[in-house]
Structure 1
Amino acid sequence: MLSYTGGIVLFAAMLHASWNAMLHGNRDRFLSMTWMSIAIAAVATLVVLLHPLPSGGCWPYIVASGLVHIVYNMSLVRSYRRNDLALAYPIARGSSPLLVTLGAALFAHEAIGLLHALGIAMISGGIIAIALQGRRVSRAGALAALTTGATIALYTVIDGIGVRLSNGEALTYTAWMFLFYWLMPVLFVAKRGLAALWKPVRAEPLAVGSSLVGGLVSIAAYGIVIWALQSGAMGAVSALRETSVVFAVLIGRMFLRESVSGARWLACVVVAAGAVCLGL
């Protein structure tokens, strides 16, 4: 992977960790994810109105990815109900690069070099070590986080194939896929009612505002990843993105007052070393 692309994906990793921290930091994660989704879908709608349709070959992937993203959002909310950020986030993100590499090999016939394979393994191993160091993980909590990781891998492979069929139209591909985020407020209203969605606008405007900002950060972060998937190996892009876990540990320590052991810092170093392997 080119160093320029790698640097951009690392920036996306930092953005990704930031919006996850915003989500985890809010008391009502379902509500927060819904307002994030509204911001994402609104931006996507604007882009769709201003740009031509993407290539016809990518439409099945747009639909599939959009639906999987909704499942991912709900799974992430469930995962954060059971675990703190330093535990749930690494398990979810750490399980995905290896799954993405396998999926890319099976469905996109991607081959990967030994050094990059080592980097992917180091990043995934380091991430899982960050999550499990000194922690007992409940079966339900682990299952929720691993389900989230599986959906991450699924939509990454779908988008990796789909964006390559869009004839270089990564922006419109991303926007049409994110239109499906309008389903999140529909699901929220169906479960809790319209009043529960609008009442916090007056009662907790800062929480709603932070969720909207988180949505804008999220669309920027994953938009960069989709752009990188056009030319970069899916497993390598996925693994490099998951270095966001290191940023999540830092954010959890600095802003959410979560404890970080020496062993966990060492695992962060392993993740960083794996990222270096991907950049060589």
Structure 2
Amino acid sequence: MTLGVLLAVLGAAALHALWNALIRVGTSRIGAMVILSVMEIPIGLAVVVLRPLPPVDVVPWVLAAGVAHFGYKFFLAHAYEVGDLSRVYPIARGAAPMIAALAGLFLLADAVRPIEYLGIAVLGLGILTMARGVFTDGESRRLLPYALGSALATASYTLIDGMGARVSGDAIAYVGWIYVVDGILFAAGMVALRGRGVLGGGARAWATGGAASVASYGAYAISVWAMTVAPIALVAALRETSILFAVLIGWLVFGERMTPNKALAAALIVGGVVLTRL
């Protein structure tokens, strides 16, 4: 992985933490995720209208990714309903690269060096350390099945997207089509499950949802592009440094405590990133 790709993936990680933080602002977590999904549709359309139509063999990948993204958003939004950003985010994002790396051993042909897998393992240790408070600080354990469900969905769409973008040959258009399909599926599915009330919220909620959608697209497009030029498992692991940014946002913006446990976890995550660069 080149330095340019590394910096791009770290930038995507910062954008990912930002849009997750925006989900916590204003309306309910479910409502915020629905608004974000609705706003994804015009963003995706604006992208794909400027690109050639994808080959037919890309369609199954886009549909599979849309279904995986539905699961990701569904579990993540419900996890945020019962848990804090600084706990849900580390668990949901932390378990995903472990699952992706394990599956990649059997499903992918990318060459990942032993030291890079060590870096992924150290990243995972740091992320799990960050999530430790759910067991020690009396927080609701109801978030765990939702957060782990989100992690499984994240690992699924990571592998689907990495391979689908390679089949497509145009990562930007591929992401645009996924945004259209994902936005329609999630918004329609949640309206069917929860009723039209999930589309409520004032102008501020919709403006925040729009900003979150733009940040989400930037994070996603950069990551998918990176998977076309670097090992998927490695990109997936580096992307999880978004936890560092989420912790900083939680501390500086939402007033969450910076405990020794969080500081240790942050150091482990940085150490994991360093190992993947050796």
State the TM-score, normalized to the length of structure 2: 0.94
CA distance in 1, matches of 2:84, 2:32: 16
In the TM superposition, residue 224 of structure 1 has moved relative to its aligned partner by 0.5
Alignment partner of 1:182 out of 166, 184, 187: 184
Structure 1 unaligned regions, length at least 5: none
Q: How does 1:257-276 map to 2 (within 5 A)?
A: 257-276=255-274
- The answer to whether the 8 A contact 1:105-1:111 is kept is no
Where does residue 127 of structure 1 map in the other structure?
A: 127
Aligned CA distance change for structure 1 residues 261 and 46 (closer, same or farther; 3 Å)? same
In the TM superposition, residue 51 of structure 1 has moved relative to its aligned partner by 1.4
Where does residue 278 of structure 1 map in the other structure?
A: 276
CA distance in 2, matches of 1:107, 1:32: 35
The reply to whether residue 36 of structure 1 matches residue 41 of structure 2 is no
The reply to whether residue 240 of structure 1 matches residue 238 of structure 2 is yes
Q: How does 1:104-115 map to 2 (within 5 A)?
A: 104-115=104-115
- The answer to whether the 8 A contact 1:33-1:73 is kept is yes
Structure 2 unaligned regions, length at least 5: none
- The answer to whether the 8 A contact 1:76-1:145 is kept is yes
The number of equivalent residue pairs is 275
- The answer to whether the 8 A contact 1:62-1:173 is kept is yes
The reply to whether residue 151 of structure 1 matches residue 153 of structure 2 is yes
Aligned CA distance change for structure 1 residues 189 and 143 (closer, same or farther; 3 Å)? closer
CA distance in 2, matches of 1:112, 1:196: 43
Where does residue 214 of structure 1 map in the other structure?
A: 212
- The answer to whether the 8 A contact 1:88-1:145 is kept is yes
In the TM superposition, residue 210 of structure 1 has moved relative to its aligned partner by 0.8
- The answer to whether the 8 A contact 1:37-1:184 is kept is yes
- The answer to whether the 8 A contact 1:100-1:153 is kept is yes
CA distance in 2, matches of 1:41, 1:218: 12
- Structure 1 counterpart SS, 2:112: coil
CA-atom RMSD in angstroms: 1.6
Where does residue 224 of structure 1 map in the other structure?
A: 222
The one-character-per-residue Cα deviations of 1:243-280 (angstroms, maximum 9, x if unpaired) are: 00010011011111111201211210110111112223
CA distance in 2, matches of 1:40, 1:255: 25
CA distance in 1, matches of 2:140, 2:205: 29
State the TM-score, normalized to the length of structure 1: 0.93
In the TM superposition, residue 110 of structure 1 has moved relative to its aligned partner by 2.9
Q: How does 1:190-209 map to 2 (within 5 A)?
A: 190-194=192-196, 197=199, 199-200=200-201, 204-209=202-207
CA distance in 2, matches of 1:46, 1:18: 22
- The answer to whether the 8 A contact 2:19-2:213 is kept is yes
- The answer to whether the 8 A contact 2:68-2:153 is kept is yes
Aligned CA distance change for structure 1 residues 161 and 136 (closer, same or farther; 3 Å)? farther
Where does residue 79 of structure 2 map in the other structure?
A: 79
- Percentage of matched positions with identical amino acids: 34
Equivalent position amino acid for 2:206 in 1: V
Aligned CA distance change for structure 1 residues 52 and 191 (closer, same or farther; 3 Å)? same
The reply to whether residue 164 of structure 1 matches residue 166 of structure 2 is yes
